[in-house]
Amino acid sequence: MVTRAEVLALDQADQLAGFRDRFVLDDGLIYLDGNSLGALPKHTAARVADVVSREWGRDLITSWNRNDWIGMPTRIGDKIGRLIGAAPGQVVCSDSTSINVFKLAAAALALRPGRRVVVSDRGNFPTDLYMIQGLAELTGGGVELRLVDETEVSAAITEEVACVMLTEVNYRTGWRHDMAAVTAATHAAGAISLWDLAHSAGAFPVALDAVGADLAVGCGYKYLNGGPGAPAFLYVAQRHQDSIRPPLSGWLGHDAPFAFDLGYRPAAGIQRNVCGTPPVLSMAALECGVDILLEADLDAIRAKSVALADLFHTLVEERLPGTFGIVSPRDAARRGSQVCLTHEAGYAIVQALIAARVIPDFRAPNILRFGLTPLYVRFGDVWDAVDRLVTIMETKTWQQPEFQVRAKVT
Amino acid sequence: MVTRAEVLALDQADQLAGFRDRFVLDDGLIYLDGNSLGALPKHTAARVADVVSREWGRDLITSWNRNDWIGMPTRIGDKIGRLIGAAPGQVVCSDSTSINVFKLAAAALALRPGRRVVVSDRGNFPTDLYMIQGLAELTGGGVELRLVDETEVSAAITEEVACVMLTEVNYRTGWRHDMAAVTAATHAAGAISLWDLAHSAGAFPVALDAVGADLAVGCGYKYLNGGPGAPAFLYVAQRHQDSIRPPLSGWLGHDAPFAFDLGYRPAAGIQRNVCGTPPVLSMAALECGVDILLEADLDAIRAKSVALADLFHTLVEERLPGTFGIVSPRDAARRGSQVCLTHEAGYAIVQALIAARVIPDFRAPNILRFGLTPLYVRFGDVWDAVDRLVTIMETKTWQQPEFQVRAKVT
């Protein structure tokens, strides 16, 4: 049996251990929901306050130039690019993940005229699928969304497929696609790859350029620690940029936005994928989160994530045998950065954990989801979380009535 | 000739004068660009800091319930509704104005099957037109954008028109449509009205419900003082809400977002028009700006705006006869809340004004635009602004080389 002392020794040896102090986290709290909302970096508050008081309050409209608000989408985009294996000039920060899915799925279809099928898997985060459904309805049958099981994606990529749209890591189970293999299969069929990196960016190294990815989107508020509802990002490989006519053709994607021409003319390069005026305060917070990640070694983050998940799996098997299903893959190569257990009383157990100062989240119908964010989650946290879970199951704490009431958002 | 003493007496009698102290503004600065970026309310910094440190930093993911992040789009939407004559349940705060134009223009076309023409005017803000151009391209000819001069809109509303999309106040000239008359003409032809309130909301009373408007969008960072790139809003009249299938069908517009169904099913009412996860920090700042406006009397704001503009026009005519063209309407009923002068050296003159601590903005090709925001612009500011303009013109200060260099954003 793994002991707490052995686990605390892992924290002693952890080269990333110093990063935890860069975040605002109550020492008594075990926060395992950074895959839903990343923790607050300590320097974010001062930066946001400066943007509010100095850049907005004092410099007012001149900040678009003086404080380079106008450059934020590409500046932050390039920084995110360094986390996802994208050379400069291929990423912008803008809008929400949902909106960016719409932009790039429409772009993918336009890049493959004569094809109308978008392939995705049933494990994809629903909003990605919803956006394609909306696009299909809007274009009056110009798009067909074809859903398959996640292990059958490559087989589904036929010559009629325009776009293969996948979230690399399944939000519920942590199952991870083989991005290189699926992208190769996509290209072999002449289709366009659109990757959603919501549970990838900042969680482990991603190599968009190296695998030859075409398009990608991702989320700012999970592993990038950008704050609630932080703006999202999108990636367009250099070779496609001039061929894309943005379907959401807003003024900040115009070649000369301040010429106020009546006709839309897309900006050169990645800029055309920016649409309206971006939310500066939220973007400034996002940049702080990204900046911390840029100081860390993504390979070290990945190695620690794997070790945290392996430890979690081992402890659950040793101390709670047969109590939970384990749906997160044991094979690290097929896993993102989370551990997922199943239990028919999953919702109530999650509520009991929260009362015990362990914060995972629940995903219907029966999944307890534990996000592992190596910059601030310690090996000792994993030990303590499982320990408290053991207590909750032994004492049946979760059966208390207050843990059965479903909140509006879970 | 109007004297400075007479003008200062107007400030003494101004019932709104106390509001200026609610904003962060250097007393030596004359800020006449609140129609581009509203000034910073004093209470915004503390509120944003609290959202960052307590709601995000301490309460973390639980804030979606505990601090009602999930309710922000409709809560703030209802508050904005009170400023634009919309009963509760018809406005949400979300995305950017551009994105919201796309959503509602697509919705308008779907409400009028068999019609494909969108009428707008050449004075509309270009991003609104660009979004329709993108929609037209995406739908493969399903949409035709027809542009007319702004005085000829009603005549252009024929039976083949699906949607009449207008910005109530021309961003360059301040010219204002007759919303009631144009909406009536729109309905007489069986078409749908889509109003952009970018230069209306918070600037003067708007009566969407009373005029029978169908759809509207607007901007959070101008007269609502919501901060740089603040989220925008949209309005859908109650009678249309259940007929709208959002083209940008994101998960937060789903009837049960946390059921994670694979199929999109729109939420009841206005909520379906929310798309992805909203930028909470930026929304919190916006709410602060809206809250101040809710304390003020919009009729008093309008009366002061009219008086400020009339004074501005008078002073320019008295002290700078023949120097500038005046393109903002003299008839207040046809004017928004700005004064617009023309001069072939407009850009350089604006730069010289900025150097003299008067901040208007420049709109190509030759317009000097002075925004009048009655909560914090004083009659004395108008007098001093014109006085400094007189000095600049008399001394030809604007001819200095540093004022000729065009910045990236103007």
Annotation says A221 is catalytic: yes
Q: Rounded to whole angstroms, how far apart are CA atoms A235 and A215?
A: 5
Mean pLDDT of A390-397: 97
H/E run at residue B316: helix B298-319
The DSSP letter of residue A332 is G
Best of B248, B261, B354, B369 to disrupt the A interface (most A CBs within 10 Å) is B248
Q: Spell out a b/e string for A389-405, using b for 16 or more CB atoms within 10 Å of the CB, else e.
A: beebbeeebbeeeebee
Shortest Cα–Cα distance, B28 to chain A (Å) = 12
A365 in reach of chain B (CB within 8 A):
no
Q: Spell out a b/e string for B122-154, using b for 16 or more CB atoms within 10 Å of the CB, else e.
A: ebbbbbbbbbbbbbbbbbeebbebbbeebeebb
- How is domain B4-40+297-403 classified at the architecture level of CATH? Alpha-Beta Complex (3.90)
pLDDT(A385) > 60:
yes
Question: Which residue out of A79, A115, A116, A222 is catalytically annotated?
Answer: A222
Return the number of CB contacts < 8 Å for A and B: 279
The DSSP letter of residue A383 is H
What separation in angstroms does the CA of B86 have from each of A119, B42, B214, B276, B323?
42, 27, 11, 24, 43
Cβ-Cβ contacts under 8 Å for B403 (sequence gap 6 or more): B348, B349, B351, B352, B355, B397
H/E run at residue B218: strand B215-218
Chain A positions in Cβ-Cβ contact with residue B135 (cut-off 8 Å): 247
Shortest Cα–Cα distance, B336 to chain A (Å) = 20
H/E run at residue B129: helix B126-138
Of the candidates A26, A48, A260, the beta carbon closest to that of B281 is on: A48
Q: Rounded to whole angstroms, how far apart are CA atoms B141 and B118?
A: 12
Q: Rounded to whole angstroms, how far apart are CA atoms B311 and B319?
A: 12
Q: Rounded to whole angstroms, how far apart are CA atoms A337 and A316?
A: 17
- Chain centroid, CA B50 distance in Å: 27
One pLDDT digit (tens) per residue for chain B, 410 residues: 899 999 999 999 999 999 999 999 998 999 999 999 999 999 999 999 999 999 999 999 999 999 999 999 999 999 999 999 999 999 999 999 999 999 999 999 999 999 999 999 999 999 999 999 999 999 988 899 999 999 999 999 999 999 999 999 999 999 999 999 999 999 999 999 999 999 999 999 999 999 999 999 999 999 999 999 999 999 999 999 999 999 999 999 999 999 999 999 999 999 999 999 999 999 999 999 999 999 999 999 999 999 999 999 999 999 999 999 999 999 999 999 999 999 999 999 999 999 999 999 999 889 999 999 999 999 999 999 999 999 999 999 999 999 988 766 54
A269-282 pLDDT tens trace: 999 999 999 999 99
B277 in reach of chain A (CB within 8 A):
yes
- Report the chain B residue with the minimal C-alpha distance to residue A127: B251
Chain A positions in Cβ-Cβ contact with residue B261 (cut-off 8 Å): 126
User: Does domain B68-295 sit in CATH 1.20.120.1200?
Assistant: no
Q: Test B229 with A147 for CB contact under 8 angstroms.
A: no
B212 in reach of chain A (CB within 8 A):
no
SS3 A145: strand
For strands B192-196 and B215-218, give the pairing. parallel
Alpha helices (runs of H) in A72-125, residue ranges in sequence order: 72-83, 97-111
Shortest Cα–Cα distance, A240 to chain B (Å) = 18
Give the mean pLDDT of chain A.
Answer: 97
Of the candidates B60, B251, B410, the beta carbon closest to that of A37 is on: B60
Shortest Cα–Cα distance, B296 to chain A (Å) = 21
Per the model's pLDDT, the better-predicted residue between A405 and B62 turns out to be B62
Shortest Cα–Cα distance, A351 to chain B (Å) = 11
Of the candidates B53, B130, B231, the beta carbon closest to that of A250 is on: B130
Give the per-residue pLDDT at A406. Answer: 78
A22 in reach of chain B (CB within 8 A):
no
Q: Rounded to whole angstroms, how far apart are CA atoms A277 and B16?
A: 30
Every domain of chain B and the residues it spans: 4-40+297-403, 68-295
Chain A positions in Cβ-Cβ contact with residue B48 (cut-off 8 Å): 48-49, 52, 281
Annotation says B125 is catalytic: yes
Shortest Cα–Cα distance, A142 to chain B (Å) = 9
- How is domain A4-41+297-403 classified at the architecture level of CATH? Alpha-Beta Complex (3.90)
Give contacts of B 334-353 with A, CB under 8 A.
Answer: none
User: Which contacts qualify for A22-28: CB closer than 8 Å, 24 or more apart?
Assistant: A22/A292, A22/A375, A22/A376, A23/A225, A23/A375, A23/A376, A24/B53, A24/B57, A24/B58, A25/A376, A26/B58, A28/A357
Chain A positions in Cβ-Cβ contact with residue B229 (cut-off 8 Å): 69, 277-281, 283
Question: Which residue out of B79, B172, B222, B272 is catalytically annotated?
Answer: B222
Q: Test A60 with B39 for CB contact under 8 angstroms.
A: yes
- Chain centroid, CA B249 distance in Å: 25
Annotation says A222 is catalytic: yes
Give the per-residue pLDDT at A225. Answer: 98
B24 in reach of chain A (CB within 8 A):
yes
Q: Rounded to whole angstroms, how far apart are CA atoms B304 and B204?
A: 10
Sheet holding B117-121, edge to edge: B91-93, B233-236, B215-218, B192-196, B161-167, B117-121, B144-148
Best of B23, B124, B138 to disrupt the A interface (most A CBs within 10 Å) is B138
Give contacts of B 69-98 with A, CB under 8 A.
Answer: 69-70, 95-98
Does ipTM top 0.90?
A: yes
Q: Rounded to whole angstroms, how far apart are CA atoms A154 and A94?
A: 30
Tokens of A315: 């402890």
pLDDT(A409) > 80:
no
Q: Rounded to whole angstroms, how far apart are CA atoms B228 and B220?
A: 9
B58 in reach of chain A (CB within 8 A):
yes
Which amino acid, B80? Answer: I
What separation in angstroms does the CA of A96 have from each of B96, B132, B212, B257, B322?
11, 20, 32, 16, 50
Give the per-residue pLDDT at B364. Answer: 87
Handedness of CA A338, A341, A347, A349 (dihedral sign): negative
H/E run at residue B163: strand B161-167
Annotation says A361 is catalytic: no
C-beta of residue B83 within 8 angstroms of C-beta of residue B375: no
What separation in angstroms does the CA of B105 have from each of A215, B163, B245, B248, B256?
27, 7, 12, 12, 25
